[in-house]
Chains A and B, each alone.
Chain A
Amino acid sequence: AQKITQTQPGMFVQEKEAVTLDCTYDTSDPSYGLFWYKQPSSGEMIFLIYQGSYDQQNATEGRYSLNFQKARKSANLVISASQLGDSAMYFCAMSVLYNQGGKLIFGQGTELSVKP
C-alpha cells in the first residue's frame, strides 16, 4: 500500500538554525513524485519543493532542500537558517498515478515551532 509516514508530530528549532523534518514513504511504483507543503495557522497549503523518483540530484529551493535517499525510501526536508515565519505545519506528500489520474497522499504532518 502507498503510504507517507512523518514520525515527528512536533519539533522546536532556534531561530537561524537548520532543522530536518523526517518523511518516509512506501510505494511499489517506480515512478512517483515527492512534495513538501507548508500550512501556516491561517490554513492555506503552500508548495515548497518537489523531488521526482528518477531525479539524480537532491532538490533545492532557496532555504529548502530535500534529502532524497531512494534506497531508504526517505525524503527529508531541510530548512536552513530558520525564521520565525517558518513556524507552521509541514506535510510530506507523494503523487501516484491513480485510476489514470493523479492524487497526493499526505503524511500526518509535523508542527514546527521556531523559537526567537
Chain B
Amino acid sequence: DSGVTQTPKHLITATGQRVTLRCSPRSGDLSVYWYQQSLDQGLQFLIQYYNGEERAKGNILERFSAQQFPDLHSELNLSSLELGDSALYFCASSVEEEGEVGETQYFGPGTRLLVL
C-alpha cells in the first residue's frame, strides 16, 4: 500500500459525459501528479500540483482539468468524453522540494475509466 488513495476504482460512462476522479496523497506529500496509461500512448504525464498551485502541465487535453484543494487532495475532471479517453488514470504524490529530481513518486491504485 503506497498510502495514495484514488476513487473510484472503476468508472463506466458514455461518450459526451463528464467524470471526476479523486486522489488523496500520502500524508505529508505536497505534490500531486496525474498520469494516463493507455495501450497506444503508454504512461503519459498530464499535470502536477504543488501545495495547491499548478506546477507543471504535460499532455493534458483542454477537455481535462484538475485542481488541488487546501487539504491537498486533488481532482481530475474529464469532460466531453470520447472513446479514446478510456484508460487507467493514476495519481501519484511526492514531497517534492522545488528543483529536486530525486523525489520518488508514489502511485495510487488508479482509476480505470471505460467510455462506451
Contact = CB atoms under 8 A, between A and B. Distances in A.
Contacts of A109: 42
Contacts of B45: 98, 103-105
B102 interface: yes
Nearest to A52: B102
A102 interface: yes
Contact of B109 (A44, A52, A91, A106): A44
Nearest to A54: B102
Nearest to B43: A106
A45 B37 CA distance: 11
Interface stretch (A8-16, A31-39, A62-70): A31-39
Given A47-B106, A103-B45, A33 B58 contact: no
Contacts of A98: 45, 56, 58
A75 interface: no
Residue from A37, A43, A97 whose CB has the most chain B CB atoms within 10 Å: A43
Nearest to A35: B104
B67 to A, nearest CB: 15
B112 A43 contact: yes
Contacts of A37: 107
Contacts of A96: 101
A103 B48 CA distance: 8
Contacts of B48: 101-103
B96 A102 contact: yes
Given A91-B43, A109-B42, A102 B110 contact: no
Interface in A57-104: 91, 93, 95-104
Interface of A: 31-33, 35, 37, 43-47, 50, 52-53, 91, 93, 95-109
9 contacts: A45-B90, A47-B2, A47-B106, A52-B102, A96-B101, A97-B101, A98-B56, A104-B92, A105-B45
